[in-house]
Amino acid sequence: PPSGLTVSMAVRKKQFWILWISFFILSLTLAGLAPNLERLIMHSGVSMDVSVRIASMFGIGIIAGRLLTGWLLDKLWAPLVILIVLLPAALVYGLLGHFHSSPRWLFVAITILGAATGVEYDALAYLVLRYFGLRFYSAIYGLIYIAFAIGAGFGPGMFAFLMQSVGYSTLFFGNAILLCIGSALLLLMGRYPRLESEQPVMES
């Protein structure tokens, strides 16, 4: 049988809960952007045709982010890869409230945020594989994905509410802090375990 941890073994590992908390924070922060992208761009006062071109950069950024992440995961430690890709997005969030009126700046900002959004799915799948193995991969991935789904579910509504209640600058600064926290938490994961040496019993 393939090597890896059982579900009960996985939930007793600190890596399980680091992933759970980290990807809840990351999805809460990033998932709220796409549904509110039009409002954000229109708030900057650019024309409709420019807004459409800017919004299209989000999808291009997602594709670029997934390609970049896949390439880096083959070469570097996965938590470091996530930090490398997400820190520029945190910087963009931190600056967005101050430089949102420039269309050129928005092209760059939305592309970088799209790239950060493209990281999550691939990185989570890879991290679960490397830290918990294949034997109960689907069950363990599903349990951690719950955190991702909760964040993604609440993110858009919270993003829209905070835009109205606290303003763009405060919202973006808060998102920058959360991105830094979520990605930095993954640095506590430690080195990849040698799963082939662990032979757990079958779980029912």
How far apart are alpha carbons 127 and 19 in whole angstroms?
Answer: 8
2 burial level (CB within 10 Å; 0-12, 13-18, 19+): exposed
H/E stretch holding 140 reads: helix 137-165
How far apart are alpha carbons 103 and 101 in whole angstroms?
Answer: 6
Length of the chain equals 204
How far apart are alpha carbons 110 and 6 in whole angstroms?
Answer: 40
- Tens digit of pLDDT for each residue in 122-180? 899 999 999 999 999 999 999 999 999 999 999 888 888 888 888 878 888 899 999 99
- Cross-strand bridge partners of residue 133: 4
Average pLDDT over residues 68-91: 93
Question: pTM, whole model, 2 decimals?
Answer: 0.87
- Tens digit of pLDDT for each residue in 28-56? 998 888 888 877 777 777 777 778 888 88
